[in-house]
Amino acid sequence: MEEIILIDKPEGMSSFGVVARVRRKLRDREGKKVKVGHTGTLDPFATGLLILLAGRATKKSDEFLKKDKEYEATVLLGKTSATGDIEGEITKTSDKVPTLDEIKIVLEKLTGEIDQKVPAFSAVKINGKRAYQLAREGKEVETPTRKVTVYKIEILDYTYPELKIKTHVSSGTYIRTLGEDIGKLLGTGAYLTTLRRTKIADYSVDDAIPLDEYMNK
């Protein structure tokens, strides 16, 4: 068999959890073990497009890994999170209320090719161990800095303290880090409260099936 499966990932589940469920579904359908892999993870708190490859399609994973992506995110200003999202310890940092013009200037600075530090709470390997595992153990994590491209950041809505944005970025861009960088440049601090992946190259979440619906069909 060879399948490309577009799943709309629910909030609160890891990408590996989605893969495990789909693998079980296909095993029951085919009556044998089926190899299933993803083409780029989403954080547990995030939702949206997850492309899974099953059977012979897993050989095509390299074709998907370097694709551009689009996301919609809510950035909360005035506080920071240990993980850059709702799952970390939250600290209030500022009462400053930036103007829309100030935000536009900051977003322009973060558009184009930029150097982005990989977050400590990420799946990147440091000395053979996942960075997030080291961070959860309370160990100092020195992650690499990478060049990424932010093609566009569009403001969808701004009602302090929430800034809602839509981004088109290159593969390897961390939207959590982008949110934190927005907060740093504004002098307010910031973290993501929502994150939704809407596109990977020409694949859209509009064509994806919610996980529960897929499991029950």
**pLDDT tens per residue, range 145-204:** 889 999 999 999 999 999 999 999 999 899 999 999 999 999 999 999 999 999 999 999
Q: In the annotation, is 43 catalytic?
A: yes
Structure tokens at 90: 């939250």
Q: Residue 171 is part of a domain; what is its CATH number?
A: 3.30.2350.10
H or E segment to which residue 151 belongs: strand 145-159
The answer to whether residues 28 and 101 belong to one domain is no
Q: Measure the CA–CA gap between 195 and 64, rounded to whole angstroms.
A: 20
Q: Which of 8, 43, 85, 181 is catalytic?
A: 43
Question: Domain span at residue 30?
Answer: 2-66+202-216
Condensed to tens digits (0 to 9), the pLDDT of residues 63-115 reads: 888 899 999 999 999 999 988 999 889 999 999 999 999 999 999 999 999 99
The answer to whether residues 74 and 175 belong to one domain is yes
The β-bridge relationship of strands 203-204 and 36-38 is unpaired
The answer to whether residues 133 and 45 belong to one domain is no
pTM of the model: 0.91
Maximum distance among all Cα pairs of the chain, rounded to whole angstroms = 59
Report residue 206: phi and psi, to 5°.
Answer: -60, -25
Helical pair 175-186 and 100-109, crossing angle rounded to 10 deg: 130
